[in-house]
Structure 1
Amino acid sequence: MKTKDMSAIAFMAAMLASNPSIVRAQDANADNVLLVKIAHVTPLSNRYMRDIAQESINAAALAVADLNARGLMANGKKLRFQSIDMDDAASAATAVEVAQRICKGSFAGVVGHLNSGTTIKAAPYYEQCAIPHITVAATNPVITASGHKTSYRLVGHDADLGQLLGFVATSDSKTRRIAVLHDRTFYGELIATNFMKGVTRSGGQILWSDSIAEYAPGPTTVVQRLKDTGVELLFYGGMDGVAGKFLKEMAYQKVDNVALMGGDGICSDQLPTLAGSAEAASAVLCGEGGAPVERMPKGAAFAARYHSEFQKLVKTYAAQTYDAFMALAAAMELANSIDPSGYQEFLGKVTFDGISGQIAFDAKGDLSNPVFTVFKYQEGKKVVKQLYHLSDIR
């Protein structure tokens, strides 16, 4: 368990002072108040994800303050929400330990984990102890395909992203000469395979597909093959480091008629640097689950509030974290219960306009109609090209 930083503590103190409903809930007879503890699991101690985790923690503080200000009731009693921050360090082993502690505690629900690997390992424990959990960032399809009734997700997954990108690749030309390459990882093969499904469903054709070791010594052979076979678009299922090598080699060999496409693995701010130039990166289209906060229905107002409270910009999953807390609370309100086994089934009936978009879950626990963003690179900057909903390709 992690203690909130001083800015969050100061914020909560201010909220207590300015919201009489919270003060009344705290001062009321304990018999008239139900404490609702939500475990909020992030990789706070992981140095590569610390900022992402802190953003999520800040958003949780906003959500809890708003829920307590609303004075929600269940079973005739006022609900007082509390976010308990817990740290899985982005480690699968630690995630299991955290899940076991949560199952032994008196928690009403879980928001987390952020990584696919940690979420997959923790999910069976939440199923066993019947505690609903909502991940706001983990995109591996296995999380909701495993049949766990307690697993929910507030972001589109990799398989749907791959198929959507296949639709995008063929939207302007069914005869485009497309090649597919992946890095032999689970993620790379998964998104590449689903990209090919999307191309085929959209009436396009794949010229060739292959795999290459994630840390291949050089892209020269691949780029030569692109030239020899007249490829117009290469889809790469992998990460930005190797994608950057491809782009560098394409520029070196003066291959300026081949577009590079990929999923969130290549869709990084540093891709132009890895590619060697902004011009080289201009050949890229890439996709991610979710939308930038400025393109969310209620994102602008939320981002302004977040900046006012924490003097920081929303960059990752703050809006989804806020919505996850609201979804759990909405299910409790529908069920008139904070008992996890009692309200869990009501999560499937929850529907509301969240900060990040329409919140409603399908039978697996995925969003009914998730949004995806396709980006391009202009003058070395990653910018939005277009937003899509999954319904656009159904």
Structure 2
Amino acid sequence: MISSARIPFTLSLCALGAALSLAACSKQEAAPAAGAASGSASASATTAAAGAVEVLIGTVGPMSGGIAHVGKDVENGVRMAIDEINASQPVIGGKPVHFKLIAEDDAGDPRQATTVAQKMCDAQVAGVVGHLQSGTTIPAADVYHRCGIPHVTPAATNPDVTKAGYNTTFRVIANDNQLAEAVAASAAQQGVKTVAVIDDRTAFGQGLADTFEEAAKQNGMQVLVREFTNDKATDFMPILTAIKARNPDAIMFGGLDAQGGPMLRQMQQLGMSQVRLLGGDPLCTERMPELSGNSPTVENVICATGGISVQRMQGGQDWLQRYEKAYSGQFQIYSPYSYDATQVLVAAMKQADSTDPQVYLPKLAALQYQGLTGDISFTPRGELQKPAVTLYRFQGGKRVEQ
């Protein structure tokens, strides 16, 4: 629940304005007195030009660093959804509503993620789409729960994201259990019998590697060795040299494309051109060939993503054309899910006829929504009721379904 001692909305928003470049704070209407229903302050400001109630939606992800391209793709999906929702001239609580996006950078750092999450609480956003990574989502989820703000991650896959049982945490993508099991089963079917495992020591990478190791054994594979690196590393020669001596059929990497690309290039340099690289959704981004320096080893990748490809989504081709028109060349992987995450937040508000998180949160938990990415409904823990998984490989410099 949001504390009754919160700063009045107009003042907190103006104070935040310098950091977030929010204009015209002085034109906002007076906020409800402290002690009013939580979240109602986010709907108290009006958009002077249109006379509509302004409601803030937040999105958080890595907008700097090695995977900023993925973070930007997530932000683009949220912006696209908000633009389309606003164009429909929504009315909630008997008043026209205008949604406004606050986008923040957590730099993929757990400490920065909690700082930014608190910023969202102070700004009294009505809901948050994010974070991208499990290692940032898990600590941020605690902040949002204490503030009473619902957040929906379109990308964080570690099962621990929902393990705390917070009623404010939701995920619109499959988790690592499903991804690791799919990759392990596919690798076994393609003749992989021995595998080395590397993780980047993040919550995502280590969690995926742990789950894969169990799934590999269940599929009859032998795990030869377990190594680790970090999510900023680019030199994997010592690890790969040690692994090469064990002669594995495949390497499973629990990590991101920013490390997976250089790893593929170095595997080629070491003569490991026949060794497969297995991984989760970060290895499935459109930039993997580029990040690998277009190494031939990119065609040895087997990766899994939660959900289905945008090409197979109902209306996906039209949606992708609209995305490309607005954000040419920026599509990666998660923007359809951040788009749907935004849509489900607003759909719950419409069902509740309120933008107050305390009022619309029960509607979000019970939502039955047909989205771009498929049917969206949640378990009591905030997981998808029917998650889908898609396996990919790379061919001719392009990501293709297996």
- TM-score, scaled to structure 1: 0.75
Question: Are positions 1:67 and 2:67 aligned together?
Answer: no
How far residue 300 of structure 1 moved from its aligned partner, in angstroms, is 1.0
1: CA distance, partners of 2:103 / 2:291: 35
**Alignment match, 2:57:** 38
1:185 is matched with 201
- How many Å apart are 1:127 and its aligned residue? 0.3
CA contact (8 A) 1:282 1:378 kept: yes
Equivalences for residues 49-88 of structure 1 within 5 A: 49-88=67-106
1:162-189 alpha-carbon deviations (Å, 9 max, x no partner): 122122233467xx62334224725444
Instruction: Give the counterpart of 1:343 among 360, 364, 383.
Output: 360
Q: Distance in 1 between matches of 2:299 and 2:100?
A: 46
CA RMSD of superposed structures (Å): 3.3
Structure 1 letter corresponding to 2:166: H
3-state SS, counterpart of residue 148 of structure 1: coil
Match in the other structure for 2:151: 133
In the alignment, what sits opposite 1:299? 316
Q: Which amino acid aligns with 2:400?
A: V
Aligned residue number for residue 114 of structure 1: 132
CA-CA distance at 1:161 after TM superposition: 1.0
Cα deviation per residue 1:336-374 (whole Å; 9 max; x = unaligned)?
322101211221222222222322222221222233332
CA shift digits 1:220-253 (9 cap, x unpaired): 4422322xxxx545544455234543454344xx
1: CA distance, partners of 2:67 / 2:250:
33
Aligned pairs for 1:158-173 (under 5 A) are 158-171=176-189
Whether the 8 Å contact between 1:298 and 1:356 is mirrored in structure 2 is: no
Answer yes or no: is 1:377 the counterpart of 2:394.
Answer: yes
Deviations, residues 283-335 of structure 1 (Å, cap 9, x unaligned): 33222334443333222111112233344453343322221111001111222
Q: Distance in 2 between matches of 1:324 and 1:172?
A: 35
SS at match of 1:145: coil
2:245 is the alignment partner of 1:224: yes
Does the 8 Å contact 1:218/1:245 carry over to 2? no
CA contact (8 A) 1:303 1:313 kept: no
* Pair 271,209 (structure 1): closer, same or farther in 2 beyond 3 Å: farther
In the superposition, relative to structure 1, how do residues 244 and 193 fare at CA in structure 2: closer, same or farther (>3 Å)? farther
Task: Give ranges in structure 1 of 5+ residues lacking alignment.
Answer: 5-24, 387-394
Query: Residue 340 of structure 2 aligns with which residue?
Result: 323
Amino acid at match of 1:351: Q
Q: 1:80 to 1:117 in 2, by over 3 A?
A: same
Q: Which of 225, 228, 231 is matched with 1:210 structurally?
A: 225
Closer/same/farther in 2, CA of residues 172 and 73 from structure 1, 3 Å limit: same
The CA distance in 2 between the partners of 1:235 and 1:318, in whole Å, is 25
2:36 maps to which residue? none
- 1-side partners of 2:210 and 2:382: how far apart? 23
Whether contact under 8 Å (1:74, 1:333) holds in the other structure is: yes
Structure 1 residue 218, shift from structure 2 partner? 5.0
Distance 1:200 1:106, change over 3 A: same
Query: Please, which of 247, 251, 262 is the counterpart of residue 279 of structure 2?
Result: 262
Work out whether residues 3 and 85 of structure 1, in 8 Å CA contact, stay in contact via their aligned partners in 2: no
Task: Return the alpha-carbon distance in structure 1 between the equivalents of residues 161 and 352 of structure 2.
Answer: 25
Instruction: Give the letter aligned to residue 285 of structure 1.
Output: I
| Aligned match of 1:103 | 121
Distance 1:74 1:237, change over 3 A: closer
Contact 2:138–2:160 (Cα < 8 Å) also in 1: yes
Asked whether the equivalents of residues 180 and 192 of structure 1 are also in contact (C-alpha less than 8 Å), the reply is: no
Q: Is the 8 A contact 1:245 1:275 kept in 2?
A: no
What is the match of residue 11 of structure 2?
none
Do the aligned partners of 1:161 and 1:288 also contact (CA within 8 Å) in 2? Answer: yes
CA contact (8 A) 2:69 2:330 kept: no
Identity percentage over the alignment? 30
Native 8 Å contact 1:348 1:365 kept in 2? yes
- The 2-side partners of 1:357 and 1:92 are apart by 30
Provide the rounded CA distance (Å) in 2 between the counterparts of 1:233 and 1:52.
Answer: 26
CA contact (8 A) 1:233 1:259 kept: yes
Report how far residue 88 of structure 1 moved.
3.1
Say if 2:182 and 2:391, in contact at 8 Å, map to a contact too: no
Change (3 A) 1:305 1:205: same
